[in-house]
Structure 1
């Protein structure tokens, strides 16, 4: 079971899968996550991308280890106005840093955004 973080619940983000260095994240377009034009707010899309990167990264770590985002570069390609799906994948796992990439598509399969990111590995003190 993938824990749903409080902020994810607040904006309606759902982590559907995270395993083997990949992650699948979904978000339905609603009035609560819309911008002034009625499209999904860019901040919500950036959050989707960050969640896809982080969950993909956590899926390759040992129990109790965590990550924190060091850098996130987002390119917005087109408006998102339907159910959005983000897919993340680990590009390279090092001892202290993980490089990952993610993309968001709308329900019709059109590219909405893409990102690359670097995450720092946080090891458990236990």
Structure 2
């Protein structure tokens, strides 16, 4: 099972949810839409579901954590893709014990390199680093 690709799919589902009024469960059922070029046998569907469901259940707390640690940036000023990346990483860092925090940060930075710009990479790294340091 490829957790890196599974995490990417979870991020895409969260991203899709920001534009869609359908329940997140429906979006998750169509997750293979995002994986046309992937062998779905390599995905950890339980891991994807755990992340997406966990974010959905803890969205208010996760949004609060983002606002507290993003130098007075309001959520509506942060790009939707960066929010999706942050939500996945923060869920893993704060609400899940499956992923070591440095791994969650590194994976988020790698996703931002792939889906965002250089300034966003720095922003995401800084926000997650603040969260990590405040916990420890």
TM-score, L = length of structure 1: 0.29
Greater helix fraction, Structure 1 or Structure 2: 2
TM-score, L = length of structure 2: 0.28
